[in-house]
Amino acid sequence: MKFSILFSGQGSQSQGMGQFLFNEFKEARHVFEEASDALQFDMKKLCFNGSDEELALTENTQPALLTASTATAEVLTRQFGVQTEATAGHSIGEYSSMVLAGVMSFTDAVKAVRFRGQAMQSAVPAGQGGMTATLGLNEAQAQFLCDYAVQKSGTGPLSPANYNCDGQIVISGNLKTLNWLKENFKPEIFVENGLSEAKRAKLIPLAVSAPFHCAMMKPAEEKMSLFLSGVQFQNAKYPIIQNVHAQIETAPEKLKHNLITQVSGSVRWMQSMNVLKSLGNPHVIECGNGSVLKGLLKKIDSEFFKVYSTNSLDDLKLIETAQKS
């Protein structure tokens, strides 16, 4: 049996992530040691003992998640013989897909995401950008809401950042625009403008350090383009469904281009999972910390997807058992 391997993004981090793998498997220990050598600080200390505040710093979050998820993937493939059908990663998780598929070395990837985190954090001064989760809206409604707020408020930009699932779309951009929307939003605007009604629509401001995946991240995208120009990319060993256009790619130049434009582009996760579904294999592993993606897949298609977590030794044994069935 083959599995599709998925990697989550920011928000899935927590103190202690990857520690049980480090304690049990030499493959995981090697990954943590490689990360520490590459970045010249103790990755074990950050992942196992870092405070919530330390782990929430984008320049820490991104390499920590990449390290924990890569350690998990190494254990799955080398110790448990897991075979990959396809792979995808949510935002920063896409770098984990690149490592799994042999596109980038882990050392190159962990240096890149450390730089990416620093570039994204410095792209927008504190207090100028933000992100808001919209609940109960479809794609058309979320896009209209952003355009409406920009037009009516006279500020911007604002655009859909994460298409997580139908009814859960995150928008990102100018904090002035988001604050205007918070004060002036009424569900009636959709029907008034020829769209389907959204009586239960809600807006929930998110506690984030920057407005990720929107036009305000263009300075960070330009920095990533320069950084990745010096990084060697290889052909992918497995199909990678990329965020920016929800399509399968394997060629190095396209993978690199899409990884760069992803910094300011939308994460089309719902659309990507529909592409994954079209491949016909329902067996999915959420590789790394937490169960965020498992929850999203339940909302996207709970009847089709069979999702396995990797948060404990028992979880890994369930995967091992499933392979034999």
The first and second tokens of residue 287, run together, are: 């590789």
How many angstroms separate the CA atoms of 208 and 308, rounded?
Answer: 28
Q: Is 91 a catalytic residue?
A: yes
Torsion sign across C-alpha atoms 297, 300, 301, 304: negative
Task: Give the C-alpha distances (Å, rounded to integers) separating 185 from 70, 152, 158, 170, 243.
Answer: 42, 11, 14, 15, 29
Q: Is 36 a catalytic residue?
A: no
The answer to whether the CB of 307 falls within 8 A of the CB of 297 is yes
Torsion sign across C-alpha atoms 4, 62, 71, 51: negative
Q: Kindly name the residue from 12, 159, 213, 266 that is annotated as catalytic.
A: 213
Instruction: For residue 261, give the H/E element and its range.
Output: helix 252-261
Torsion sign across C-alpha atoms 233, 65, 205, 241: positive
Q: Kindly name the residue from 8, 12, 69, 91 that is annotated as catalytic.
A: 91
Classify 16 as helix, strand or coil.
Answer: coil
The first and second tokens of residue 59, run together, are: 């320049």
The answer to whether the CB of 96 falls within 8 A of the CB of 69 is yes
DSSP letter, residue 163: E
How many angstroms separate the CA atoms of 318 and 320, rounded?
Answer: 5
Classify 17 as helix, strand or coil.
Answer: coil
Long-range contacts (CB closer than 8 Å, 24 or more residues apart) made by 32-41: 32/67, 32/71, 34/106, 34/107, 34/110, 35/63, 35/66, 35/67, 35/106, 35/110, 37/107, 38/107, 38/110, 38/111, 39/63, 39/110, 39/111, 39/114
Task: Tell me the one-letter amino acid at 289.
Answer: N
**Residues belonging to the active site:** 91, 213
